[in-house]
Amino acid sequence: MKTFHALVVLTIALASSFAMAQDPAAPPVAAPADAPKAAPVVPLVSDDPSVQALLDTKPTKPTDMFAVVGLLVDLEQPELARAMVVKLAETATDDAALVEVGRKFNKREVLRLSEVPGLQPEGKALADKIVKAMNTADRDPARIAGLIQQLQAPTYEERVAAINGLRSGGDGAITALIDGLLDPNRAAEQLMLRTALAGLDDAALAPLRVVLAAGDEAAKTAAVKTLSLNPATAVVNDLYAAAFAAGSPPTTRQAAQAALAKRRGKLPEANAAAVKLFVEANRLYKLAAPLGNATAVWKWDAATMRPKTVLDQPRVVDLNLAATYVAAAADASGDATARRLADAAALEALTFSSPDPAQQATAAAEWFAAHKLSPAELAALFELTAGQDRNVVAGFCLRQLTASASREQLLIGLAGQPTTLVRAAVSPDPTIRFAAVDSVMNLKPTQPFAGSSGVADSLAWFATAQGTDRALVVDKRTVRGRDVAGMLAGLQLSAEAFDDVLTALSAAATRADVQFVFVDRLLLEPSQGNFLARLRSDYRSARIPVAVICEPEDVDRTRTRLYEDPYTVAIIRPTDGAVLKRQLELNPTVGGQTFVPGQERVRRAGVALAAMRQLLQSNNTVFNLKPYEPALLQAASSATPSNGIIGVLGQLGSPAAQRTLVDLASATSQPLALRQAAALAFGENVIRYGTMLTTVEINRQYERYNASESLDKPTQQLLASLLDVMEARAASLPVRAERKTSAAAGLPTPAPSP
């Protein structure tokens, strides 16, 4: 039998305080048909005398029952505690009784019912009911109004009790207090309303900041006076902003300066305040949480002229606060960098208020129209946002720059240096890179310019995308690399193993669909190829997430070594797909901002291929696309080549392009529409450049036609059209293929060349 010396006194005291009357029998409550079946509840009987003495008190009040539940849990009697929970739930059937329990015991004790395994499922159900009843009661408008009235009580104790009661009132209490604070007819209450809001600590900071940002002069001044009563260090930044921002109304500025002088002993210099605001704004800008599920945040309601809670991204709140602080810093110091950071934070907050890219673009366009930044200011804003990896906003800046500057400003740099737009075309971030390349193509350059080769490189890189997420596995031990690639295939990721560093580096840099690289740790060493350093040195692969595969004893050392690379993680060599999946879940890379979904990669490839085809058709002299033919041919050899690839090959004057098009047109495994597109592109190519196929290749095409007797009529017609094109342009080439004599196909028999 267990002994519980520490609890004997508590048990006796509790037993003496309880009424000894027997609890009247309560009728059983039927569970809903779909409710989970609970384990049988044990009788309230124990072999332990100290426990039985506690049970014999037979508490009837819900608060006494709850106290017994807690003691039984402490006495390690969860089954008996669960039985008491059931009785408590049957007794406390109205909100008033549940609230009484919650008021006597704090929420932490109530939520404890949800955490003890032996009390479930009844424990969690009861805890949820108590918390819900408490929240409803705490937020009751009548209760909140009574507590606000109690703030004017004559005694200090009553006023403190009112503030403590308002703490549990949530958003309803804050809204009611701010309503009173902004009501000019309640001037006599202002001091205690401000005191109560300051007493709510952090809970009231966000709505007061909203008032300070969007209210009228009286509202802003009231917010400053309220914030000045809050001892939190963070409030100083709000006072700095109100004291030094050019847009602060006179009374608001005076109130903020008086509060700062009182808090600091004297009013800080403007430059000192600007530095502090800039540092805090930069921190908020850099550390703003990534987008996730929307939560309740405070925003200004223009209709009611009051703050209210709405669902939005917490990141937007941080960015708006950063913009407020750094704009005040710029006003106080006149610093151009601070002004750019203010613009960057405000623009990002605006665009990320919506998850829809089209709506983001519209919001950004409206912001640019309102602020009328010069091309130089846009270029500087782009450099700032791109340098901070704010890639979506940087892309908007780049497009606005393209729309507002002249062709010469955009393409011709000073002293032969590439312009901001051209440099962006070789950005390590694919979103910025695409925005730049697309903008350059829209300018239709006709004269060479510094950096044009980088634009061509990126254009060809985008053209290779087919939308399938791919991974590369690099390991000099071929079998081990193939094992990991097989595990990745089991995780629905297309993977290819490489045992040669140079080949793997080339694949990573030239294939737009590569989304992850797995590399053996030894290949990071200079003597083994220095793979990671070389991967990061190429802008096209600089942001690809990398998993370094280590032996267990090497993981910690490798992680320390790679600490400054935010796109790389170290994992233990996996033994199967489940282990690999688990490690990737535990070690997510922070390269998420650079990830582009497959559908978007395909769209960008279409844009790039259309641009390449137009360049080839127009005989442009600015971009040399010939070096990218191997990448295009490789893309055309995939399982489902795009019509865009086929269209570009139709403009390339090379035997390889013609051979690839003929093979595609003849591949009966491909859809008919794609084969017809390849045949048409082949015809265009031959008309432009003449037949470049060898005699052997032409003979092979006759053999394909002669073997098509059993195929469908559209395929026979397509194969015949290929021969028609060849004969029209290469009539002098000898053909050894036998004539097809069958008339079953109903086609003209192609005559071999003499």
**pLDDT, average across residues 153-160:** 92
Q: Say what percent of the chain tops pLDDT 70.
A: 89
**pLDDT, average across residues 435-464:** 93
594-645 per-position pLDDT tens digit: 788 999 999 999 999 999 999 999 988 899 999 999 988 888 887 778 889 9
User: Measured between alpha carbons, how far is 405 from 378 in angstroms, rounded to an integer?
Assistant: 10
What stretches of 250-345 adopt beta strand conformation (E)? 295-301, 306-312
For residue 151, what are its two tokens? 């703030």
* pLDDT band at residue 289 under the 50/70/90 scheme: low
557 within domain boundaries: yes
147 within domain boundaries: no
Angle (CA) 407 412 413, round 5°: 135
Sign of CA dihedral 399, 406, 381, 243: negative
Q: Name the region of 155 (left: φ>0; alpha: ψ -120 to 50; beta: rest).
A: beta
Question: Does 5 score more than 90 pLDDT?
Answer: no
DSSP single-letter state for residue 596: -
324 within domain boundaries: yes
Say yes or no: 313 and 341 in one domain.
Answer: no
Q: Name the region of 95 (left: φ>0; alpha: ψ -120 to 50; beta: rest).
A: alpha
Of 197-206, 470-479, 606-615, the least confident: 197-206
167 within domain boundaries: no
User: Measured between alpha carbons, how far is 523 from 474 in angstroms, rounded to an integer?
Assistant: 8
Q: Which residue has the tokens 């370094």?
A: 548
**pLDDT, average across residues 175-196:** 93
- Classify 429 as helix, strand or coil: coil
Q: Cα dist. 124→78, 116, 265 in Å?
A: 14, 9, 52
User: Measured between alpha carbons, how far is 583 from 580 in angstroms, rounded to an integer?
Assistant: 5
**Domain count across the chain:** 5
Whether 496 and 470 have beta carbons less than 8 Å apart is answered as yes
pLDDT for position 300: 93
Say yes or no: 463 and 564 in one domain.
Answer: yes
* pLDDT band at residue 516 under the 50/70/90 scheme: very high
User: Measured between alpha carbons, how far is 227 from 479 in angstroms, rounded to an integer?
Assistant: 66
Question: Does 749 score more than 60 pLDDT?
Answer: no
**pLDDT, average across residues 413-424:** 89
143 within domain boundaries: no
Partner residues linked to 312 by β-bridges: 295
Say yes or no: 472 and 613 in one domain.
Answer: yes
Top pLDDT among 650 and 736 is at 650
pLDDT for position 1: 35
Q: Which amino acid is at 343?
A: D
User: Do β-strands 470-474 and 306-312 pair in parallel, antiparallel, or remain unpaired?
Assistant: unpaired
Top pLDDT among 304 and 355 is at 304
pLDDT for position 592: 57
pLDDT for position 3: 32
Q: Name the region of 170 (left: φ>0; alpha: ψ -120 to 50; beta: rest).
A: left
Question: Does 74 score more than 90 pLDDT?
Answer: no
What stretches of 425-537 adopt beta strand conformation (E)? 470-474, 494-498, 514-520
pLDDT for position 53: 82
Q: Which helix (H) or strand (E) holds 611?
A: helix 598-617
150 within domain boundaries: no
pLDDT for position 42: 55
User: Do β-strands 295-301 and 306-312 pair in parallel, antiparallel, or remain unpaired?
Assistant: antiparallel
For residue 4, what are its two tokens? 């519980």
Say yes or no: 385 and 497 in one domain.
Answer: no
Task: Break the chain down into helix, strand, coil percent, rounded to 5.
Answer: 65, 5, 30
Average pLDDT across the chain, whole number? 85
Q: Which helix (H) or strand (E) holds 547?
A: strand 546-550
Say yes or no: 674 and 732 in one domain.
Answer: yes
pLDDT for position 257: 95
Say yes or no: 503 and 396 in one domain.
Answer: no
Q: Name the region of 490 (left: φ>0; alpha: ψ -120 to 50; beta: rest).
A: alpha
Q: Whole domain around residue 214: which residue ranges?
A: 174-328
pLDDT for position 76: 85
Say yes or no: 464 and 413 in one domain.
Answer: no
For residue 100, what are its two tokens? 């009484």
Domain boundary among 275, 308, 328: 328
Say yes or no: 464 and 439 in one domain.
Answer: no
Say yes or no: 312 and 418 in one domain.
Answer: no
DSSP output for 135-200: HHHHT-HHHHHHHHHHTT-SSHHHHHHHHHHHHTTHHHHHHHHHHHHT-GGGGGGHHHHHHHHHHT
User: Measured between alpha carbons, how far is 752 from 754 in angstroms, rounded to an integer?
Assistant: 6
12-68 per-position pLDDT tens digit: 223 333 333 333 333 444 444 444 445 455 567 777 888 888 888 888 899 989 988
* pLDDT band at residue 355 under the 50/70/90 scheme: confident
User: Measured between alpha carbons, how far is 653 from 688 in angstroms, rounded to an integer?
Assistant: 8
For residue 312, what are its two tokens? 């939005």
Say yes or no: 133 and 26 in one domain.
Answer: yes
pLDDT for position 34: 46
User: Do β-strands 494-498 and 470-474 pair in parallel, antiparallel, or remain unpaired?
Assistant: parallel
pLDDT for position 41: 56
Angle (CA) 27 33 34, round 5°: 130
Top pLDDT among 652 and 1 is at 652
User: Measured between alpha carbons, how far is 594 from 568 in angstroms, rounded to an integer?
Assistant: 13
524-545 per-position pLDDT tens digit: 999 998 999 999 999 999 999 9
672 within domain boundaries: yes
Question: Does 94 score more than 80 pLDDT?
Answer: yes
Cβ neighbors of 52 (< 8 A, separation 6 or more) are 45, 46
Q: Cα dist. 60→26, 57, 102 in Å?
A: 12, 9, 17
Whether 261 and 243 have beta carbons less than 8 Å apart is answered as no
User: Measured between alpha carbons, how far is 337 from 381 in angstroms, rounded to an integer?
Assistant: 9
Say yes or no: 19 and 104 in one domain.
Answer: yes
Of 16-25, 305-314, 364-373, 398-407, the least confident: 16-25
- Classify 466 as helix, strand or coil: coil
Q: Cα dist. 454→18, 417, 436 in Å?
A: 85, 13, 11
User: Measured between alpha carbons, how far is 196 from 148 in angstroms, rounded to an integer?
Assistant: 9
Domain boundary among 416, 445, 474: 445
Q: Which helix (H) or strand (E) holds 214?
A: helix 205-214
683-711 per-position pLDDT tens digit: 999 988 888 999 899 899 999 999 888 88
Domain boundary among 424, 445, 466: 445
**pLDDT, average across residues 565-571:** 90
Question: Does 389 score more than 90 pLDDT?
Answer: no
Say yes or no: 432 and 463 in one domain.
Answer: no
Of 4-8, 409-413, 524-528, 695-699, the least confident: 4-8
748 within domain boundaries: yes
- H helices present in 352-477, as ranges: 357-371, 375-387, 391-404, 407-411, 420-424, 430-443, 452-463
Sheet holding 546-550, edge to edge: 494-498, 470-474, 514-520, 546-550, 568-572
